[in-house]
Amino acid sequence: MPTITTKDGVEIFYKDWGKGQPIVFSHGWPLSADDWDTQMIFFGNHGFRVIAHDRRGHGRSSQVGDGHDMDHYADDLAAVTAHLDLKNAIHIGHSTGGGEVVHYIARHGESRVAKAAILSAVPPLMVQTPANPGGLPKEVFDGLQAQLAASRTNFYRELAAGPFYGYNRPGAKPSEAVIANWWRQSMMGGAKAHYDGIVAFSQTDFTEDLKKITVPVLVMHLRAAHYALLHQFSMTASEVSAPARL
């Protein structure tokens, strides 16, 4: 099983398939690299080298008790790209993974990066603050932590079967296989990593990170997604990024 060991001793699992220009995928909370399997097969079949890693505490990576913050997430991603000597890479991040991508580029520079895409991602800031009045109240995220701590297995099942895929919308046709796969990935990870990760994805302010990025970044959101104020965030991220076009 391919892994690297970070400077603070954490083993990070990764997948590395094919040859060509690298596309690096960063998964959302609380999932794993497996969430990108369909996309990795597609782009691998179209001449790209595809890479995805399990974030620390997630999937097959070490279930450590600390370091579950955006600085460590970005540094771990940098360690993977350096270990594989990736150049001219396209970085794609979903949800928390979008924050990871933005923070990685801002923190470690663009020398290895060609462009990026952040999909239904958390930047610039999810939680409500005086400077971000349209964000979600902190109590929403406190509630997520409380549900996780009370019964992680039930919480993940209900999240996948409900708002995450929009299965709670009128006319939606839930897929038991999709729900089970989401639950499987989530339960592979560590409860502490997932608990702390809620703070990481909700309270990290990426505003200054976005201002530092000069490579092309595609920002995509779905209006129908219920688990974040996605349309608002897509507008805000494009306004902060320089240069940006929505």
Quick one: three-class SS letters along 130-162? CCECCCECHHHHHHHHHHHHHHHHHHHHHHHHH
Average pLDDT over residues 40-63: 98
Contact (Cβ atoms closer than 8 angstroms) between residue 36 and residue 25: yes
Q: Tell me which residue has tokens 């955006």.
A: 70
Whose tokens are 């990870």? That residue is 189
Whether the bond into 133 is cis, omega within 30 of 0 = no
Q: Using one digit for the tens of pLDDT, what is the confidence trace for 78-108?
A: 999 999 999 999 999 999 999 999 999 999 9
Reported as a single tens digit per residue, the pLDDT across 231-245 is 444 445 555 555 555
Domain boundaries, the chain: 3-240
Three-state SS for 165? Answer: coil
Query: What percent of the chain shows pLDDT beyond 70?
Result: 90
Nearest-angstrom CA–CA distance, 28 and 157? 16
Residue 59: how many CB atoms within 10 A of its CB? 25
Percent of the chain surpassing pLDDT 90: 89
With CA atoms as reference, report the closest residue to 164 among 37, 24, 33, 35: 35
Cα 126–chain centre separation: 14
3-class state of residue 96 by DSSP: helix
Does 231 or 191 have the greater pLDDT score? Answer: 191
Largest CA distance in the chain: 49
pLDDT tens profile 100-116: 999 999 999 999 999 99
Query: In the predicted model, is pLDDT for residue 7 greater than 50?
Result: yes
Strands 49-53 and 11-17 come out as: antiparallel
Please give the span between the terminal C-alpha atoms of the chain, in angstroms, as a whole number: 40
Of 169-173, 213-217, 218-222, the least confident: 218-222
3-state secondary structure of 120: coil
Does pTM top 0.75 for this prediction?
yes
Number of H helices, E strands in the chain: 8, 7
Output the pLDDT for position 243. Answer: 55
Per-residue confidence at 229, pLDDT binned at 50, 70, 90? very low
Q: Which CATH superfamily is domain 3-240 in?
A: Alpha/Beta hydrolase fold, catalytic domain (3.40.50.1820)
Q: Which residues contact 152 (CB under 8 A, 6 or more apart)?
A: 186, 187, 191, 194
